[in-house]
Amino acid sequence: MNKTLRYIILTSCIIFILWFIGYFLIGDFISLEFSNYQVSKIFPKVLTFLAAVSIYVLFLLSIKKNEGWSFSNVMKFVLGIIIGLIPLFTFEYYSINDCADWKIDKTTKKVLFQSKTSASETIKLIEINCPESKSKTLKVKRVVAITPLFNTSSTIDTAKISTNSWKKL
Domain range list for the chain: 3-93, 104-168
Q: Mention every residue, 6+ apart, whose C-beta is less than 8 A from residue 30.
A: none
| Per-residue model confidence as pLDDT tens digits over 25-68 | 887 778 888 888 888 888 888 999 999 999 999 999 999 888 88
Element spanning 71, H or E: helix 71-84
Single-letter residue type at 76: K
Asked if 115 and 166 touch (Cβ cutoff 8 Å), the reply is yes
Single-letter residue type at 20: F
| Per-residue model confidence as pLDDT tens digits over 4-23 | 999 999 999 999 999 999 88
* Residue count of the chain: 169
Whether the pLDDT of residue 132 is over 70: the answer is: yes
| Distance separating alpha carbons of residues 76 and 89, to the nearest angstrom | 20
pTM summary value:
0.78
